[in-house]
Amino acid sequence: MTKRPNQAPAPPMTRPSFLRGIVGIWYRHALALTRVWKVATTWFVIEPACVLLAMGLGVGRLIGTLPTHGEYASFVTPGMIVGMAMYHAIFECSWGAFQRIQSHSVETLLTTPIGIVQLAAGEILWGATRSALSTIAVGGLALGLGWLDPSAFPGVLLVSMLVGVEFGAIGLCFAATAQTTSTLSLIFTIVATPLFFFSGSFFPMEILPRALQIAAWIAPLSPGVHLARGFATHDLHTTHLAAAVYLVLLGAASFPVAVWLLRRKLLR
Amino acid sequence: MAEIRVEKLVKRFGTVRAIDGLSFEVASGETFGLLGPNGAGKTTTMRVLSGLSPVDSGEVSIAGIDALRDPRAVRCVVGVVTQQDGLDDDLNVRQNLEVFGFLAGLSLRVARRHTREVLDFFGLASRSEDAIDELSGGMKRRLAIARALMIQPRAVILDEPTTGLDPHSRNRVWEELAQLKARGVTILMSTHYMDEAATLCDRIAILDRGRILALDPPLELIEKHTRGDVQELRVTTASHSSVRAELERAGIRWREVGAVFRLNREADPAAVRSIAGTRSEVRRANLEDVFLNLTGRELRDE
């Protein structure tokens, strides 16, 4: 390239890459987590372990085996793992992000050379990381109990991260629109809790009335549960492919909405 | 050459023009102040210049960059301090700076070096491992300014740098800003403290309702828009209503600014002295008087 004589002087600092912004947000969250790792351990291990053990050992002992789905503990495990992955991503990207918007520390991030897209992507990437950490903890416990096959673990982990991306983006939408913490809590009462119980985690969807079955299959956590169970039982067929496509589409569709809502909220 | 150039900027919120055709230039190395009451459009202007707020029309060029087209490039070379400190409570002092530097494109090694430098500059080195909520309000503000210096900016944009600070902390911030200026950093700041503007700024734009009413060095503003001295009447033992009655009887026009009666300059000194229960004082006019004369309102009006 030839240098023109009247070329403007190069700015003293080179512009950071697009990826730097995303990694930087992720780095911020990782640092924040290491500062509270003792408490964080309880989120990742103790609480989900209680639910998994109660379902697997408690309810599982009453039910024993399901007619079409085998042992109940093995049936419920992938659903629990994916449900917990959803909770972690939602918590991080709705509650966590909302608090940081309110305290203006998100505005500070935007005084660096990053844009809203990188902010949203970094937040969601971290949400998915928390989903993965949760799956490593709960899945590790399930491996130890013999309720999850080690060879199924990578597949289940991948599904958890996709679920993390999807619900991270959905969580950000709520963080960007909620006016108060009480409206924000709607994401738990109208989104997370119904999905957790009615996405096929605890019982096979076939036993629901027909109309509810359709709603349950459309529900955004169902493809994750179905896919994780497919990996767990080593029984993958075309419905799982459809679930994977649906899952990815849900994440891909939520992301631009989250970006749009965040831009509306933060750049006024 | 102008480091910051703003031309015919307009921004509406609904039907309200928060910025109403604003134009000004800040020279390289200059400290430029936007002085005005709350709601004058100061913060909106700062946010627009930082790329945090879209505009309806106008042009902004900062460090030779079209700031409306490429705000991210501006933020590579300009430090932005927003009105709220915006510190990250989940990180300690050092981590706040390091994460900021990393996001701005510094390597972690360079970010750590710059962190040490700015903490030294602000006398906060001993607090580097402290949690944010262990800092005083003044320290938090100074840390927020320190953060903007992580990128070794050629210009900084400061929105009300000392609002809400105690006098001691304000003085420290002033000192630090003066040192920055001495290093050649261009400073654009907003304030509603006239003493702050007069102390720090080379030139001041008096802003009201999104427009610049006057733009000059502080002393020239006072020369042009006041009559030099201001006579004031402080109430000691009289009631405010009796003072009003007496002033009216003596044919003196006045304006009440807080608890003080600011008298029209033609007031006859003998007549003023004869008002019982008051003490009259003559003082030099200041930027507050400039604003009052230009708008008929006080700087502190909401």
Q: SS3 for chain B, per residue?
A: CEEEEEEEEEEEECCEEEEEEEEEEEECCCEEEEECCCCCCHHHHHHHHCCCCCCCEEEEEECCEECCCCHHHHHHHEEEECCCCCCCCCCEHHHHHHHHHHHCCCCHHHHHHHHHHHHHHCCCHHHCCCEHHHCCHHHHHHHHHHHHHHHCCCEEEEECCCCCCCHHHHHHHHHHHHHHHHCCCEEEEEECCHHHHHHHCCEEEEEECCEEEEEECHHHHHHHHCCCEEEEEEECCCCHHHHHHHHHHCCCCEEEECCEEEECCCCCHHHHHCCCCEEEEEEECCHHHHHHHHHCCCCCCC
Q: Whole-number mean pLDDT of chain B? A: 91
Q: Mean of the pLDDT values across residues B123-135?
A: 96
Give the global pTM: 0.91
User: Closest to A103 (Cβ–Cβ): which among B50, B77, B89?
Assistant: B89
Range with the poorest average pLDDT among A60-74, A251-265, B115-129: A60-74
Residue numbers in B near A110 (CB within 8 A) = 52
pLDDT band of residue B300 (cuts 50, 70, 90) is low
B156: pLDDT strictly greater than 90? yes
**Residue B145 pLDDT grade (very low, low, confident, very high; cuts 50, 70, 90):** very high
User: Across the interface, do B88 and A100 touch by the CB < 8 Å criterion?
Assistant: yes
* pLDDT tens sequence across A102-152: 999 999 999 999 999 999 999 999 999 999 999 999 999 999 999 999 999
Specify the range with the lowest mean pLDDT, choosing from A119-123, B15-19, B263-267: B263-267
Q: What percent of chain B has pLDDT over 90?
A: 71
**CB B86 to CB A266 under 8 A?**
no
Sheet containing B78-81: which strands, arranged edge to edge? B78-81, B155-159, B186-191, B31-35, B203-208, B211-216
Per-residue pLDDT at A63 exceeds 50: yes
Within 8 A of A107 by CB-CB distance, chain B residues are: 52, 82, 84, 86
Q: Which of B56, B83, B103, B112 to mutate to test the interface with A (most CBs of A within 10 A)?
A: B103
Question: Which among A111, A126, A264 is the top mutation candidate for probing chain B, defined by the most B β-carbons within 10 Å of its own β-carbon?
Answer: A111
Confidence band for A182, pLDDT divided at 50, 70 and 90: very high
Confidence of residue B22 (pLDDT cuts 50, 70, 90): very high
Chain B residues within 8 angstroms (CB to CB) of chain A: 50, 52-54, 63-65, 72-73, 75-77, 79-82, 84-92, 95, 99-100, 102-105, 144, 147-148, 151-152, 154
* Tokens representing residue A261 in the block: 């809502």
With a cut of 70, say whether residue B228 has pLDDT above it.
yes
Chain B residues in contact with A92 by the CB 8 A cut-off are none
Per-residue pLDDT band at B146 (split at 50, 70, 90): very high
Q: Which residues contact B209 (CB under 8 A, 6 or more apart)?
A: B17, B20, B39, B40, B41
Residue A11 pLDDT greater than 70, yes or no: no
Residue A2 confidence (pLDDT) above 80: no
pLDDT for B130 beyond 90: yes
Of A15, A27, A32, the CB nearest to B76: A15
Name the minimum distance, in Å, from the CA of A121 to any CA of chain B.
14
Average pLDDT taken over every residue of chain A: 91
pLDDT given at position A4:
38
Q: Which residues contact B258 (CB under 8 A, 6 or more apart)?
A: none
Q: Given this model, what pLDDT does residue B302 score? A: 42
A106 CA: distance to closest CA in chain B (Å): 7
Assign B234 a pLDDT band (cuts: 50, 70, 90).
Answer: confident
Question: What is the average pLDDT across B94-110?
Answer: 97
Q: Which two tokens stand for residue B4?
A: 């910051």
> Which pLDDT score, from 0 to 100, does residue A13 have?
58
Mean pLDDT of all residues in B200-223: 95
**Are A108 and B147 a contacting pair at CB < 8 A?**
yes
**pLDDT of the residue at A7:** 38
d(CA A45, CA A135) in angstroms, rounded, equals 10
| Range of lowest pLDDT (A48-52, B52-56, B170-174, B296-300) | B296-300
For residue B118, give every residue at least 6 positions away whose Cβ sits within 8 Å of its Cβ, in sequence order, or none: B97, B146, B147, B149, B150
In chain B, % of residues over pLDDT 70: 98
Length of chain B: 302
